[in-house]
Amino acid sequence: MRDLKYSDILSRNTELGKTMQEPFYDIAVLSNIITSQLNEILEYTLRKENISARVTSGGYDNILQDAKRFNGSDLIIVFWEAANLIDGLQYKADTMSEEEVSTLLVKVKKEIDFLCLQLKGSSLVVLNRFSTLVFNNHNLKHNTFDKIVKELNEALERAIPHNVVLIDIEKVLARISIAQSVDFRYYYSSKALYTISFYKEYVGYIKPIVMSVRGKGKKALIFDCDNTLWRGIVGEDGINGIEMSGTTNGGVVFEEVQSIALALSKTGTVLGLCSRNNPQDVDEVLQKHPGMKLRDRDITIKKVNWEDKASNLKAIAGELNIGMESLVFVDDSDFEVNLIKQQVPEVNVLQVPAKLHEYPQMVRDQSRRFFTLTESKEDAERGRMYKQQQQREADKGKFGTVEEYLASLGMTLQISTNDRSQTPRIAQLTQKTNQFNLTTQRYTEADIEHFITDGKHRVFTFAVSDTFGDYGTTGVCIVDLDVGKKKAVIDSLLMSCRIIGRNIELAFADFMMRILLNAGIDEAAASFVRTPKNNQVADFYDRLGFDVVNRTDSETLYRINVANYKSSNIQYIEVR
Amino acid sequence: MEEKIKKVMASVFGVDVKAISNTASPDTIPNWDSLRHMNLILALEEEFNVEFTDEQTVEILSYPLIKMVLQEHGVKTGNNKK
């Protein structure tokens, strides 16, 4: 992105715009300075990832007025420049009387509260923290402008609702330097402060947020072993000849890389190994080497063998039930890196840099691609849950029929309705689930909150457990009820891939149809909206006996007379 | 250089390169408003690695003027890629 010139971005963006398809992702930029160059740079960044972004600017210095107007956008970005809170605050602040300062603070704090109130119902908001850094990077002591901004940032922290993400704009300034970030020529003539270079860097902070809500974030980080997790080759140097400890010169960068990976696993990133090695050598290191930060329990999936790595990565994606494009793979060898680039270009490959001191920072730079907007208890548990899954798969072989196997699992399905405490998890499931997802509607926490409280929707969540462990909340169904007309519309139905293949969906459908019947609903409508990933549920409603109202390549509409629904009657799942 | 200028202008104004004539100005290009003029200045500066003076940013309101000012900044005419 940094290398691409602005005019090339503009022309490529126009080209991408021509072939863009629905659903569109509408972004509004509200600001009290001119930020118009951001629009196309951001559009291009997202369109390149197949997100049909359309960016609109609000009116100049109309943040409060426009917050309401653009309420329906998928994302609102607020550029509230401290220096322009009043014209020329950066130089006026120090000559203002105490009274003038406190009047200003009261005014802006009220504006913050008002803005937050307006933004509360929005899907998702990104707001930049106030900063003085552009103007005040030389002074030894904090001046009045600094103090004002500090107090406003504190007010901002207190006021923001949960659908707002704060961005530290100072990090962007630090990455490319203040000199590269601002252009005072246009600040004084047109109130445009930031440069093209700044916006190119800034969109790097917005992209992971959008990728996360659109279900396109990275999910698994897979490492090679020798000279990638440790220095040396275990098969040749032996367990005592390799280094990855911070107490050794050669090991320190590897300890840091392992620790970064470990930290990522705690927020839901799955860790794996893909290495040409003797499995027992690697296992011995994982279990016994005193310098290892990563242990067996942290590694969800291991492909340590002599097969080619492209096949191994395919197998990893298959077993984790995620797409190849959700993988990031780290390896030190030119050969392997090029093989992966050729054979499985969807996988993101990183090569351990020749200058080893750059290695930890390279991995750290990647970590934002694993960003999840909504972190939940399930994230921290994900790696462990995948492991339980593998145990179940291994047990599958021992039974005569799949039904027998399922019956042996002792499954329990716990269903809750409109449970507000689950809002973050529900939003996250709608954002991340791709395969068992009938309509693939992505919702933010604010959207879910709205469904739960508006009295017209039932938001069902279901949690599954069995003798091997607890999967946590893994399914969501959102139904729009019109009790007066005795009609219901199934807006969303989705299940995490962790619980696919157990007929959970049938047990849930039985439960839901019974609820609808008891609520006096005569007719239920449902739909299947095709995406590149959800083919496995293309005939889900057909299998349940719904009538097809209309079928096209992209969508099928269904209807059913609730009283005619034939229950699947799964005996081996206990519904609570 | 001429081609490059027109390419930049076309991408900023969202029109085909052919629409940028040798006399192109806000009169012939409806999209040439003050915001896009700023984008044009920034795009030209980045493309040719120059920095216009405050006066120049206001003055260069046509293709011939852009070309002239870029020449003043030492950008060579003709089709050589530098």
Give the tens place of pLDDT for each residue, A329-358.
999 988 888 888 888 899 999 999 999 999
- Kindly report, residue by residue over A92-140, the tens digit of the pLDDT: 999 999 999 999 999 999 999 989 988 888 889 999 999 999 999 888 8
- Kindly report, residue by residue over A191-216, the tens digit of the pLDDT: 999 999 999 999 999 999 999 888 88
Q: Does residue A532 have a cis peptide bond before it, meaning omega lies within 30 degrees of 0?
A: no
A7 → closest Cβ in B12, B38, B54: B12
* Cβ contact B43:B11 at 8 Å: yes
Return the residue matching tokens 């954002």: A431
What's the pLDDT band for B80 if we cut at 50, 70, 90? very low
Stretches where chain A sits below pLDDT 50 are none
A41 chain-B contacts, CB cut-off 8 A = none
What's the pLDDT band for B81 if we cut at 50, 70, 90? very low
Is the CB of A185 less than 8 angstroms away from the CB of B35? no
A60 chain-B contacts, CB cut-off 8 A = none
Is the CB of A5 less than 8 angstroms away from the CB of B54? no
Please indicate if any CB of chain A lies within 8 Å of the CB of B46. yes
Q: SS3 sequence, A68-137?
A: HHCCCCCEEEEECCHHHCCCCHHHHHHHCCHHHHHHHHHHHHHHHHHHHHHHCCCCCEEEECCCCCCCCC
Is the CB of B57 less than 8 angstroms away from the CB of A14? no
Rounded CA gap, A541 and A285, in Å? 50
pLDDT at site A252: 92
ipTM of model: 0.83
Question: What is the mean pLDDT of the segment spanning B69-76?
Answer: 89
* Cβ contact A320:A301 at 8 Å: yes
Instruction: Work out the percent of chain B whose per-residue pLDDT is above 90.
Output: 62
pLDDT at site A138: 86
Report the candidate in A172, A177, A47, A189 with the shortest Cα–Cα distance to residue B42: A189
3-class secondary structure, A475: strand
Rounded CA gap, A505 and A536, in Å? 13
Is the CB of B11 less than 8 angstroms away from the CB of A8? yes
Q: What are phi and psi of A527, to 5 degrees?
A: -150, 155
DSSP for residue A476 = E
DSSP calls for A309-327 = HHHHHHHHHHHHT--GGGE
Q: Phi-psi category of A416—alpha, beta or left, where left has phi over 0 and alpha has psi -120 to 50?
A: beta
Token output for B30: 């409806």
At residue A74, what is the residue type? Answer: D
Instruction: State pTM to two decimals.
Output: 0.70
A196 → closest Cβ in B34, B46, B54: B46
How far does CA A216 lie from the centroid of its chain?
7
How far is the CA of A216 from the CAs of A14, A102, A213, A367, in angstroms?
Answer: 23, 45, 8, 14
Please indicate if any CB of chain A lies within 8 Å of the CB of B14. yes
If 0-12 CB within 10 Å is exposed, 13-18 middle and 19+ buried, where does residue A470 land?
Answer: middle
Report the candidate in A118, A99, A111, A102 with the shortest Cα–Cα distance to residue A151: A102
Rounded CA gap, A205 and A368, in Å? 8
Q: What does the mean pLDDT of chain B come to?
A: 88
| Inter-chain Cβ pairs, chain A and chain B, closer than 8 A | 47
Q: What does the mean pLDDT of chain A come to?
A: 90
3-class secondary structure, A469: strand
pLDDT at site A401: 65
A7 → closest Cβ in B8, B35, B38: B8
